[in-house]
Chains A and B, each alone.
Chain A
Amino acid sequence: MSGESHEAVHRHPAPTSFIRKYIFSLDHKVIGIQYIMLALAAVLVGMTMSVLMRMNLSWPGTNWPILGTLFPGGAPGGAMNPEFYLSLVTMHGTIMVFFVLTTAPQGGFGNYFLPIQIGAEDMAFPVLNMLSFWVTFVGFIVILAAIFFSGSESTVGPIGGWTGYAPLSALGQIAGPGQGMGMNLWIISIAIFCVGSLLGALNFITTLLNMRTRGMSLMRMPLTCWAWFTTAVLALLSFPVLLGGGILLLLDRLAGTSFFIPGGLYVSGILSGTNPNFPVHTGGSPILWQHLFWFFGHPEVYIAILPGMGATSHILATFARKPVFGYRAMVFAIFAIGLLGFFVWGHHMFISGMSPYSAMTFSILTLSIGVPSAVKTFNWLGTLWGGRIRFTTPMLFAIGFVSLFVAGGITGLVLGQTSLDLPMHDTYFVTAHFHLVMGVASIFGMFSATYFWFPKMFGRLMNESLGKFHFWVTFIGVYCIFVPMHTMGIVGMPRRFAQFTEYEYLKTLHPLVVFVSIAAIATVLVQIVFYFNLFWSMFKGKRAGENPWEATTLEWTTSSPPPHDNFAGHLPVVYRGPYEFAVPGAANDFVMQTQPEIAHQPVGQEGTSGNGHDGHRH
């Protein structure tokens, strides 16, 4: 139970010691920033790995002296060996999916803005909130440990991919370099991460159900809150399954059980049971791991992107100066996507030998996710339609999100069909599909959220010129990276291969591979501009008032940055929905959620003061 006391209900004084204020803080805002910082650190590692992979794919065999110095085992003389490449693939995927796409949108922005947007002073269980961050942080340390102590000189972690497919992931060192201690640390890190996410999800759900301020009915919540709530439900129900699977996998590795390891395996020239390093196993089911993993893995895709959808809806409405088109439909679409997400995991396993009938069921359910996704897309377009659009940086990223979501989602319809998935499976087509929709679109949602909420978090605006430069290069860059990958996939270029020099039919694609790598390196480099803008603006940015974007929701009624208890002891009262822009008869083109009435005011007279919030604080 949380140790929160009710003694000081009027004002919660901010802690004064450095450690309680910035390190082991109970304040959801500090914890949110901690999560974002964790993701910003993790994404640097993940991005560096992707650049190394691209370098190896485009210029195979080239000696990069710096690589030879840093990883004498993995890149002897500076030329990468295949195991090193595979471990990069694994760690890039793991770090990006767990420590970037799950932490920043949900743990970071969700933590910071969910309580403020529903008018709460803090999360329901602040101590639990602090724990969930630090548990996640320990998980990150353990995954870094897997890089440095993978048990093999020649890799930077396990080599089995972020999906950790059994039986190779269940066998230990015998399955390849990095599969020994590296794989153990990988599983332990993921298990720790599961626990942290579960604590966070529990807190999010309870906070949203119990801590809403007066008048904040469910249907008056910003769509961001709906997205974070649904994401928390998905995390709550899917992470325990991964945790359970992880425990089984760890037992197979350490306790000699045979949950996932079939009998009679012949690996690395050794038959099961003929070597002390490879004890006898019987009867395990490798497919079982796939089922458990993907039962988590598919909802995880939505855990990554739903917060981005919420932020996009929120930001599109704010800068189109229009209410979200079809608010109710948007809420139901979020829920439908979340719900359907639990019944489609089989589409990752079409070639696992499943019955064609279950494959067809999974296929139909998968394609049906297109319906709520299309509802969302058309509602975004409807929100933009006829709006007086303000092309700020967050708006550009939000529009970019819609573009990437469509571009990446449409290929989901291709891959969701069994007959088309069979040839496409494990080719670059899949890589392109999920990077666009799950990776880049989610990150665009987070870029948008960063530029949008930065003034609230730090009291200063980020630089618009740098932001727009960042947007255009990134936007064009990611299309240059991932559109050609579809072509490669259709030609039949397989994923996860360290190099393609030996394949005659792929030789013609090499210029395209080089092009993609150059685009990737350029896109990565321009992120330096983003990092610079972020940290420079914290100290030197233009001062932002309470409500620089003329937005309507509760976070814009309090100071920037908000005080320790968010609303300085006066919880706001909510009178209306979240997106009342351009209301006829209102003095401003936006009406704050806290503004009690607008209907009786003659047009253009006695305008409620700029922000319209200070008249109502009681």
Chain B
Amino acid sequence: MATTVTGTKPITKKGMGPGGRSRFPGGNGGSRKGNGHEGDFSQFEKSANRYRIGMWVGLASILMMFTALTSAYIVRAASSSDWHPIAMPQILLLSTVLIIASSGTLEVARRRLKSAFGGSYNFWLLLTTALGAAFLCSQLLAWRQLVRQGVYVASNPHSSFFYLLTATHGVHLIGGLIALIYLLFRARRAARDEQTLVKRHAVADAVTLYWHFMDGLWIYLFVLLFFWR
């Protein structure tokens, strides 16, 4: 009984013998207590990383939802003869241009924030927000065009999916707009110290990631709705 599988071996195996603390990589998660000491930057970095990680994780879940809706789309398109593709509103091309442009401007904003000359960060952020709002308006116009043609959500399965997918994407994009507005408000306050700055960068990274994802998602939905019919 005394002989067990794990004895003392794992300690040496991991190279963490007595006094092996120096071997721990600096700033392993959670060791944020040494505020004000040297080498804290990496600790803040690690701690702020939660926003980037959290965003990636969240995007995985959003991706799964759209995967589910896509598979429903494909199954429904194949399952019967009542699938009549709707005439896609031309204004969607404008939407696409707008959201791609907003992705570009947000990327510029993010880089301005990280560079030493962060002055125009606010401007690019504001521009992105405006483009995002314009995208939403353009989507609403597309809906109006369809309504004028008498195409409603229950008209046929393709129109149902059109309204559903654009609405679901739009709701997620509204979340992105709220995040952008949050960034705008945060940007008005000067960063007091290194730690706040690191966190601000991480949050900006996360929001940018989300926005790019929404951009890519729209292009995907656009292609799906236009060509899988």
Where the two chains meet, the residues of A that have a C-beta atom closer than 8 Å to any C-beta of B are 1, 6, 9-10, 118-121, 124-125, 198, 201-203, 205-207, 209-217, 236-241, 243-245, 247-248, 251, 255-259, 262-263, 282-285, 288, 291-292, 295, 322-323, 325-327, 386-388, 569-571, 573, 575-577, 579-585, 596-600
A187 to chain B, nearest CB (A): 15
Nearest Cβ on chain B to A386's Cβ, whole angstroms: 6
Stretch at the interface among B59-67, B102-110, B114-122: B59-67
23 contacts between A and B (CB under 8 A): A1-B179, A1-B182, A6-B47, A119-B30, A120-B29, A205-B57, A206-B50, A214-B21, A215-B16, A237-B64, A243-B65, A244-B68, A251-B160, A255-B160, A256-B153, A283-B76, A283-B157, A323-B6, A326-B5, A569-B33, A571-B31, A582-B1, A585-B8
**Which of A211, A245, A386, A585 meets B50, CB within 8 Å?**
A211
Contact B1 A584 (CB under 8 A): no
**Bound CA span A6–B1, Å:** 48
B3 interface neighbour in A214, A295, A584, Cβ under 8 Å: A584
| Seed contacts A202-B54, A283-B81, A577-B6; 4 additional CB < 8 Å A-B pairs | A9-B35, A237-B64, A259-B72, A579-B6
Contact with A along B1-18 (1 / 0, CB 8 A): 111111110110010111
Interchain CB contact under 8 A, B54 and A292: no
CB neighbours (8 Å) of B54 from chain A are 124-125, 202-203, 206
Q: Give Cα distance in the complex from A388 to B195, angstroms.
A: 50
Q: Is the CB of B8 within 8 A of A571?
A: no
B6 touches A259 (CB 8 A): no
- B95 CB-CB contact with A under 8 Å: no
B32 in the interface (beta carbon within 8 A): yes
With A206-B53, A211-B30 already in contact, the answer to whether A1 and B61 are too (CB < 8 A) is: no
Contact partners of A239 in chain B: CB under 8 A: 61
Question: Is A10 a contact of B33 with CB atoms below 8 Å?
Answer: yes
A251 to chain B minimum Cβ distance, whole angstroms, is 7
Question: 6 tightest A-B contacts by CB?
Answer: A283-B80, A240-B65, A256-B154, A244-B68, A283-B82, A241-B68
For the complex, what is the distance from the CA of A325 to the CA of B153, rounded to whole Å? 57
Shortest distance between the CB of B75 and any CB in chain A (Å): 5
Q: Which chain B residues (187-229) contact chain A, with CB distance < 8 Å?
A: 195-196, 199, 203, 206
Q: Shortest Cβ distance from B214 into chain A, in angstroms?
A: 16
Contact present for B6 and A1 (CB under 8 Å): no
Interface residues of B, count at CB 8 A = 64
Query: SS class of chain A's interface: helix, strand, loop or mixed?
Result: loop
Q: Which residues of A contact B51 (CB under 8 A)?
A: 1
Chain A nearest CB from B83 CB (Å) reads 7
* Complex interface: chain B residues within 8 A of A120 (CB): 29-30
Q: Beyond A1-B206, A244-B68, A244-B69, is A580–B6 a contact (Cβ under 8 Å)?
A: yes
Expressed in whole angstroms, the minimum distance between the Cβ of A256 and any Cβ of chain B is 4
Task: Say whether, besides A210-B46, A240-B64, A243-B65, A583 and B4 are in contact (CB < 8 Å).
Answer: yes
Nearest B residue to A257 via CB reads B160
**Given A1-B179, A9-B35, A259-B72, A583-B206 contact (CB < 8 Å):** no
Which listed residue (A248, A262, A569, A571) contacts B72, Cβ 8 A? A248
Give residues of chain B (19-68) contacting chain A, Cβ–Cβ below 8 Å: 21, 24, 28-33, 35, 44, 46-47, 49-51, 53-54, 57-58, 60-62, 64-68
Contact A202-B61, Cβ < 8 Å, known A214-B24, A244-B68, A283-B83: yes
Contact among A9, A198, A295, A569 for B61, CB-based, below 8 A: A198
Q: Do residues B182 and A597 form an inter-chain contact, with CB atoms below 8 A?
A: no
CA distance A210 to B164 in the complex (A): 35
**Chain A hits for B179, CB < 8 A:** 1
Q: Which residues of A contact B58 (CB under 8 A)?
A: 202
Q: Distance (Å) between the CB of B201 and the closest chain A CB?
A: 13
How distant is the Cα of A577 from the Cα of B13 in the complex, in angstroms?
12
A288 contacts B76, CB within 8 Å?
yes
Do residues A213 and B29 form an inter-chain contact, with CB atoms below 8 A? Answer: yes
Given contacts A292-B68, A577-B6, A579-B6, contact A9 B33 (CB under 8 A): yes
CA distance A282 to B83 in the complex (A): 10
| Cα distance A377–B4 in the bound complex, in angstroms | 19
Nearest-neighbour CB distance to chain B for A584, whole angstroms, equals 5
Q: Which residues of B contact A388 (CB under 8 A)?
A: 1
Judging by beta carbons under 8 Å apart, are A210 and B49 in contact? yes
Min CB distance A319 to B, Å, is 15
Q: Tell me if B195 and A571 are in contact (CB < 8 A).
A: no
Which residues of the other chain, A, contact B2 by a CB distance below 8 angstroms?
A: 582, 584
Decide yes or no: A211 and B29 within 8 Å by CB, A1-B179, A206-B53, A237-B64 being known contacts. Answer: yes
Does A288 lie within 8 Å of B64, measured CB to CB?
A: no
Using A9-B33, A240-B61 as known contacts, say yes or no to A596 and B76 having CB atoms under 8 A apart: no
Which A residues are CB-close (under 8 A) to B66? 244
Q: Chain A residues with Cβ under 8 A from B35's Cβ?
A: 9-10
Q: A9-B33, A285-B75 are in contact. Are A597 and B28 (CB under 8 A)?
A: no
What residues on A are CB-neighbors of B28 within 8 Å? Answer: 212-216
Identify B18's interface contact among A118, A124, A238, A596, CB under 8 A.
Answer: A596
Among B30, B46, B203, the most chain A Cβ lie within 10 Å of the Cβ of: B30
Check if B79 is an interface residue, CB within 8 A of chain A.
Answer: yes
Q: Which of B6, B64, B79, B206 is the one whose CB lies under 8 Å from A283? A: B79
Q: How far is the CA of A209 from the CA of B32 in the complex (A)?
A: 16
- For residue B157, which residues in chain A have a CB less than 8 angstroms away from its CB? 257-259, 283-284
Q: How far is the CA of A404 from the CA of B66 in the complex (A)?
A: 37
Would B61 and A210 count as touching, CB distance under 8 A? no
Q: Which residue of A has the minimal Cβ distance to B6?
A: A323
Whole-angstrom distance from the CB of A380 to the nearest CB of chain B?
Answer: 15
Bound CA span A38–B71, Å: 35
Chain B residues, CB < 8 A from A212: 28-30
**Distance of A342 from chain B, by nearest CB (Å):** 10
Question: How distant is B51 from chain A, measured CB to nearest CB, in Å?
Answer: 6
Docked-complex contact B153 and A255, CB < 8 angstroms:
yes
- Report yes or no: A210 in contact with B4, Cβ–Cβ below 8 A: no
A577 pairs with B82, CB closer than 8 A: no
Enumerate chain A residues within 8 angstroms of B57, measured Cβ to Cβ: 201-202, 205-206, 236
Taken together as a complex, chains A and B put the C-alpha atoms of A311 and B93 apart, in Å, by 54
- Chain A residues whose C-beta falls within 8 Å of the C-beta of B16 in the assembled complex: 215, 575
Q: Point out the residues of chain B lying under 8 angstroms from A241, CB to CB.
A: 64-65, 67-68
